[in-house]
Amino acid sequence: MELRAYQRRVNYYETDQMAIVHHSNYIRWFEEARLDFLDQAGLNYRKLEETGLIVPVVDVSCRYHVSAKYDDLLDIYAHLIAFNGVRMDYRYEVRFHDSGVLAADGTSSHCFLDEHRRPVILKRRDPVLFAKLSALVEKK
């Protein structure tokens, strides 16, 4: 399944006094791109939460390559790179829309918890969701 990039324009309030995007915003954009990725795949996060399932971030990292600035148009790619039903890992690329130049890249890891904040083995709890996520893992 070919998913489109999440596209976003840098807002003024996301920049610092030097008119450069503050580093913390990239992590927010990873989340926005991840939720968009799931929506495109037919897996709306709100609907997942309504089943009592939550998917917290357990680790996140970002490397900065070229500074984004106010009004830049960015393409943010989220790739599901690993999934085993207990944990899933994403890789992200933030690229300038016009040139394709890499602004930043990073990763995030997530686990699955139930409504009592206990770990979930997704294959047992929701085999359909397990199959859908398994199919989204990027082939190497």
Residue 79's Cβ-side half-sphere holds a number of Cα atoms within 13 Å equal to 13
C-beta separation of 108 from 34 below 8 A: yes
Active site residue 16: yes
Question: From CA 68, how far away is CA 106, in angstroms rounded?
Answer: 15
Report DSSP state, residue 13. G
C-beta separation of 99 from 121 below 8 A: no
Burial 62-87 (b: 16+ CB within 10 A, else e): bebeeebeeebebbbbbbbeebebeb
Question: If you search the block for the tokens 């009004």, which residue do you land on?
Answer: 71
Active site residues: 16
